[in-house]
Amino acid sequence: MKKIIIVVFIIMFSSCKENDEEQKLMYKQLVNYRDELKMNTRDIDAYIQNFIEKEKIYKSKTEGRNGILLEYEKSFEKLKFKERDKIVKLRDSFNREHKLNLHFDTSNYDNNISDTVFNRLMEIDFYRLKISFQNRYLVGHRCM
């Protein structure tokens, strides 16, 4: 719920004409949220690696799934600051292909937000997808 509120807040403020101070505050909040998600993914990665070291049998089960995630990360990094349509298409196809069922509101992505805000939103979506993938396919599919 927190994620939805933040995204609505961002889109609402980005569609209005604001002064520079409000935009800076919004951008700072986006960066803070992105950093929080980034730390969460790193923590999950560390947890998975620690679990694999203890339980060698799960290494073979998670290698293929880790490969899928690494391929998505590479694709995202290639498109990160380029065409909006391609990055949105990559995000949506990864979401559909792996049945992660995350909802992304893209109604204001066309012309209503700046490139820097768009890039932060895409990073946030990337980390949301990564966490969802990790929880569904890496953390959620092992017997502890």
SS3 per residue for 45-100: HHHHHHHHHHCCHHHHHHHHHHHHHHHHHHHHHHHCCCCHHHHHHHHHHHHHHCCC
Provide the whole-model pTM. Answer: 0.76
37, two tokens: 């998600």
Cβ atoms within 10 Å of 101's Cβ, excluding its own: 9
105/120: higher pLDDT:
120
What pLDDT is recorded for position 118? 86
Q: What digits encode the pLDDT tens for the residues 50-101?
A: 888 888 777 777 888 888 988 999 999 888 888 888 888 999 999 999 999 8
Lowest mean pLDDT among 59-68, 72-81, 108-117, 131-140: 108-117
83, two tokens: 């065409």
Q: Residue 112 — left, alpha, or beta (φ > 0 → left; ψ -120 to 50 → alpha)?
A: alpha
Lowest mean pLDDT among 64-73, 98-107, 130-139: 98-107
16/61: higher pLDDT:
61
